[in-house]
Amino acid sequence: MKETKEFQTESKQLLNLMINSIYTNKEIFLRELISNASDAIDKYKYLQLTSEGKLAVKDYEIYLKVDKGNRTLTIKDNGIGMSHDDLVNSLGTIASSGSKEFLKKYKEAKDSEDLNIIGQFGVGFYSAFMVADKIEVLTKTVDDKAYKFSSDGVKEYTIEEDNKEDTGTEIKLFLKEDKEDEDYSKFLEYYTLEDLVKRYSDYIRYPIKLDEVTKTPKKDEKGEEIKDEFDEVVETKTLNSMIPLWKKNKKDVTDEEMEKFYKDKFSDYEKPFTSLFLNVDGIVKYNALIFIPSHAPYNLYSENYEKGLDLYSKGIFVKEKCKELVPDYLKFVKGLVDSDDFDLNISREMLQSSPLLRRIEDNIEKKILDKLKEIKNNDYDKYLEFFKTFGDHFKYAIYQTYGAKKEQLQDLLVFNALHNEKPISFKDYVSNMKEDQKYIYYASGKSLDYIKMLPQIEKYKKDGIEVLLLDKKIDEFAIMMMGDYDKKEFKNIASEESNELSKEEKDNLDILIAENKRILDDIKEGLNGKVDEVTFSSKLVDSPVCITTKNGLSLNMENTLNEEARENNFTDDVKATKVLEINPNHELFKAFDAIKDNDEEIKLYGSILYDEALMLEGYEVEDKKEFITKLNKLMLKSLK
């Protein structure tokens, strides 16, 4: 007798919603059906194990059968099957979960740990309606007759008795007709199915089989090929590898295996910089394979780059590039996570941030940083390679979190240094500080060459005091967010605050300033607002002038911020508080004595000194035409 039943209203709605919106890529239907089949075998296996020999052990397998003539694809398993009631409750009602009930039923069973049941929400099966306009399910359980369920997934379904020997389920999909932009026939092709299984279901623990048919032209007695006649050779292939690398014992996995896996899975021609095999058995249990590439992914800095780790649950692929699993600053990291603790809910495609994922993320972040610290301690040159490629991400992380990531990341930063040949860390810096040195000194600029030419650095060169050279735009901003390291404050050598003068030196400087007040005032007036102060310097050795800044914002930061503003079409009106410092011991200044009563001359020479300071520090002269006019004027004067 054939029964016809209507789907419940909410099921119809859900069905419609799902088919039309949730799953963006239709091909995942295969993964869903294979995962159901694998669940069904898990369940049978469990029953068999607890049946005290009443049930037979089988060669568990999932078979894909293709019938091109009838445009059908059948997914066949020899698992637990469905009874009449199961069909009504599981397939007739969406959003119910047979798996869940099964689990509940056997919760007390001591062996229940053996059960790997994926899927806590009953929409997986229905994803098949994205590619099929009719589905027939032939199924048989241990203690019920065989039934055929049939539906077009719109309004109703039918159930009738049928014949089937063995327990298990065969799901036959009648594929939709191809449309202009939708190719359904591809699901009848060997290579498509092979590809999908490899991609999504490689690690299912039961063999997923498919017949490969090879046609060779028939030959006559003389060995000549007969036109349009073929010999068909059918070979049954197992498409999946069945053992996930990450489920293996960590000790048994070699570096070579890890490398091969990385290259295959993430299509990289180069081996990874480093890899981690995580087998975490804490509050959250998970296995993970994590890789740091040896070069930046080609699209890392493009807007459509997607960070994340692939997510598996019980060996079943759930989602590619799950962004909740790695913080932004580690977006270059590749890998996968497999945890038994996931409830796979309605949209495996859109697994939203869950507390569980957060926990795993924190844990993975920590493991990666620990590994990097280990490399930094044991193989510094190798670490420097890594830092050259990805180090800026750490600085951005400190800056963007307003210093919240400082503790975690500060010891992973390295910077070029004035005296040390290789880049050094803050720890290196602090352990080599002079006895009476209070600050960690740094200098910033457009490039290392420019920084090394800074007039202010002369004193540090002479005195052998180490200075960190910050040539990346982000450097100074990150350091500003950090504020200090190991309670030692950072000081920009080009900031006025870096002047550490004794009382006597300060008094002498004050006298000098008072004596030359007219000159200093004239220069300031001549610069017409370009600087906020003109004074004498205590830190210059060979150079006649330099520009220092006050109140935290350096020339380099001013420049970076304005550049960024211009790029984004904002007004570039960030202004550092600038002080023009003159070297009172330089012969150029001593020569000012000759013009000390001529205000106009003082202004002219003063403005040239300012331009010179700008150039020395690696910046453009603001008005080149005016500069040349002044220079020509002076040349004429001395040549006449």
- 8-state DSSP, 179: B
User: What does the DSSP assignment read for 335-392?
Assistant: EEEEETT----S-GGG----HHHHHHHHHHHHHHHHHHHHHHHH-HHHHHHHHHHHHH
Residue 438, token pair as written in the block: 């209070």
- On whether the CB atoms of residues 556 and 476 are closer than 8 A, the answer is yes
Q: Which two tokens stand for residue 250?
A: 């960590």
Distance of closest approach, residue 95 Cβ to ligand ADP, in angstroms: 9
Pick from 526, 575, 521, 528: nearest CA to 550: 575
Please report whether residue 62 would count as binding ligand ADP according to CB under 6 A: no
The stretch near ligand ADP (CB under 6 A) out of 97-105, 245-253, 454-462, 529-537 is: 97-105
**Which span (118-126, 152-160, 265-273, 364-372) binds ligand ADP, by CB under 6 A?**
118-126
Q: Which amino acid is at 130?
A: M
Nearer to ligand ADP, 77 or 558 (CB): 77
Q: How many H helices and E strands in the chain? A: 19, 23
Question: What burial letters (b/e) apply to 207-240, b meaning 16+ CB within 10 Å?
Answer: bbbbeeeeeeeeeeeeeeeeeeeeeeeeeeeebb
For ligand ADP, the binding residue among 125, 157, 429, 450 (CB under 6 A) is: 125
* Closer CB to ligand ADP, 143 or 177, in the complex: 143
Residues 6+ away with beta carbon under 8 Å from 583: 536, 537, 540, 541, 543, 544, 545, 546, 589
Site string (167-196) toward ligand ADP, x via CB under 6 A: --x---------------------------
Least distance in angstroms from the C-beta of 39 to ligand ADP: 6
- With CB under 6 A as the rule, give the number of residues binding ligand ADP: 22
| 121 near ligand ADP, rule: CB under 6 A | yes
Q: How far is the CB of 147 from ligand ADP (least distance, A)?
A: 12
Cβ-based nearer residue to ligand ADP, 124 or 244: 124
552 vs 576: CA distance, rounded Å: 8
Q: Tell me if 99 contacts ligand ADP by CB under 6 A.
A: yes
Are 150 and 157 in contact, with CB atoms under 8 Å apart? Answer: yes
Closest approach, Cβ 165 to ligand ADP, in A, equals 16
Q: Is residue 36 close enough to count as binding ligand ADP by CB under 6 A?
A: yes
The residue among 115 and 512 lying less far from ligand ADP, judged by its C-beta, is 115
- Residue 533 has φ and ψ, to the nearest 5°, of -160, 150
Candidates 301, 304, 295; CA nearest to 334 is 295
Stretch that binds ligand ADP, among 32-40, 249-257, 289-297, 472-480 (CB under 6 A): 32-40
- Applying CB under 6 A, which of residues 14, 28, 80, 417 lies at the interface with ligand ADP? 80
> Does the protein bind ligand ADP through residue 77 (CB under 6 A)?
yes
- From 48, 60, 61, 122, residue interacting with ligand ADP (rule: CB under 6 A): 122
Nearest CB to ligand ADP, comparing residues 99 and 583: 99
Per CB under 6 A, 91 contacts ligand ADP: yes
Question: What single-letter DSSP state applies at residue 164?
Answer: -
Q: Is 61 in the site for ligand ADP (CB under 6 A)?
A: no
- The nearer residue to ligand ADP, 79 or 315, going by C-beta atoms, is 79
Closer residue to ligand ADP, CB minimum distance, 14 or 398: 14
Quote the tokens at residue 408: 């975690």
Q: Looking at beta carbons only, is 132 or 290 nearer to ligand ADP?
A: 132
Within residues 151-170, the interface with ligand ADP by CB under 6 A covers 169
Q: Whole-number minimum distance, CB 83 to ligand ADP, in Å?
A: 10
**Half-sphere exposure (CA, 13 Å, Cβ side) for 365?**
21
Please identify, among the stretches 78-86, 197-205, 448-456, 632-640, the one whose residues bind ligand ADP according to the rule CB under 6 A: 78-86
Pick from 92, 98, 153, 526: which binds ligand ADP (CB under 6 A)?
98
By the rule CB under 6 A, 124 interacts with ligand ADP: yes
Q: What is the DSSP string of 588-602?
A: HHHHGGGGTT-HHHH
Alpha carbon 305 to its chain centroid, in Å, reads: 9
From the CB of 154, what's the least distance to ligand ADP, in Å?
Answer: 16
Q: How would DSSP label each residue in 421-458?
A: SS-EEHHHHHHT--TT--SEEEEE-SSHHHHHT-GGGH
225-264 positions binding ligand ADP, by CB under 6 A: none
DSSP tag of 162: E
Q: Which residue minimizes CB distance to ligand ADP?
A: 98
In the list 11, 90, 498, 538, the residue contacting ligand ADP (rule: CB under 6 A) is: 90
Is position 391 an interface residue for ligand ADP (rule: CB under 6 A)?
A: no
| Least spacing, CB of residue 72 vs ligand ADP, in Å | 16
- Establish if 119 lies at the interface with ligand ADP (CB under 6 A): yes
79 binds ligand ADP (CB under 6 A): yes
Say if strands 334-339 and 309-313 run parallel, antiparallel, or are unpaired.
parallel
Residue with tokens 């520090």: 617
Q: How far is the CB of 424 from ligand ADP (least distance, A)?
A: 55
What's the angle, vertex CA 298, arms to CA 296 and CA 301, rounded to 5?
80
Cβ neighbours, 10 Å, residue 15: 20
**C-beta of 118: minimal distance to ligand ADP in Å?**
7
CA atoms of 206 and 601, how far apart (whole Å) = 92
Positions that interact with ligand ADP (CB under 6 A) = 32, 36-37, 40, 77, 79-82, 90-91, 97-99, 119, 121-126, 169
